[in-house]
Amino acid sequence: MQEAHATIEGIEAPPPSEIVVALRDVHKRFGEREVLRGVSLDVEEGTSAVVMGGSGTGKSVLLKHIVRLLVPDRGAVWVFGQRVDQLEGETLDRLRLSIGYLFQSGALFDSMTVYENLDFLLERHTRLSKSERRDRILETLDWVGLRHTATQYPAELSGGQRKRIALARAIILQPKLLLYDEPTTGLDPVSVRTVSELIVRLRDERGITSIAITHDLLCAEIIADRAHFLHEGRILMSGTLDELRRSDHPVLRNFFGT
């Protein structure tokens, strides 16, 4: 358990190599609203981190800094030993390709079949031949248990299936790091479990590091090696999910209903 507040002096020093993602004193303001007010967070290679917190506290904003969809006003964002907040051009493109991002919306093209959605990415970002792409797509669909949906359109799938296809989309380029924004929102408990267990298998079988934003306690219970609670622009507490749940802090007690 730790109170995470980085010192300004610590920002410039690269994190140890086993730390895949490190945010150091990250500040982000939109107009008058200071959303992040010194967020510091470490995620170790091969582990699954969960970021929790009340609605509108800046969890998505935090995640977007890791792929440089947002740039901090102050502070540093380290990913695989590189300062993402300072990267540009090809180096940034390369880094982004090693990160899978599962958006809340799933980001599937409605006008394309499941197969075409996946092939679109492979065609664009790899030099695989058509038959190699086909093998990769079918293998990935098998992995999420949905090979039979290859010729279907996203609108024909259930919510849980759409999430699993979105997961297939996020892993098809074989990323080393996966970011999930609410991977189980709107799913029934059985689908929550299925998607969460796939996330665990990605860690256990492929050594993928992940960071997930979730409100869903069942999902957090299944996937979290470590949980971080965002409150008033900072990480209020980091620890195991149980440590957070057992905390006496009124904000955490209120959140967990304990």
Ligand X SMILES: Nc1ncnc2c1ncn2[C@@H]1O[C@H](COP(=O)(O)OP(=O)(O)OP(=O)(O)O)[C@@H](O)[C@H]1O
Number of residues that bind ligand X (CB under 6 A): 11
Query: For residues 36 and 168, which CB has a smaller minimum distance to ligand X in the complex?
Result: 36
Query: For residues 157 and 241, which CB has a smaller minimum distance to ligand X in the complex?
Result: 241
Whole-number Å distance between alpha carbons of 35 and 75:
14
Query: For residues 53 and 106, which CB has a smaller minimum distance to ligand X in the complex?
Result: 53
Contact segment (CB under 6 A) with ligand X among 27-35, 84-92, 143-151, 237-245 equals 27-35
Task: Kindly state the smallest distance separating residue 145's Cβ from ligand X, in Å.
Answer: 28
Query: For residues 57 and 196, which CB has a smaller minimum distance to ligand X in the complex?
Result: 57
Contact segment (CB under 6 A) with ligand X among 14-22, 30-38, 89-97, 112-120 equals 30-38
Q: Single out the residue of 8, 142, 3, 173 nearest to residue 75, CA to CA.
A: 8
E-strand ranges in the chain read: 19-30, 33-44, 48-53, 74-79, 82-83, 99-102, 177-181, 209-213, 226-231, 234-239
- Its sign, for the CA torsion 122, 126, 130, 132, is negative
Which strand (E) or helix (H) includes residue 159? Answer: helix 159-171
How many other C-beta atoms lie within 10 A of the C-beta of residue 3?
10
Which of 30, 98, 125, 130 touches ligand X (CB under 6 A)?
Answer: 30
Binding mask 34-73 for ligand X (x = CB under 6 A): -x-----------------x-xxxxxxx------------
Residues forming contacts to ligand X in the complex (CB under 6 A) are 30, 33, 35, 53, 55-61
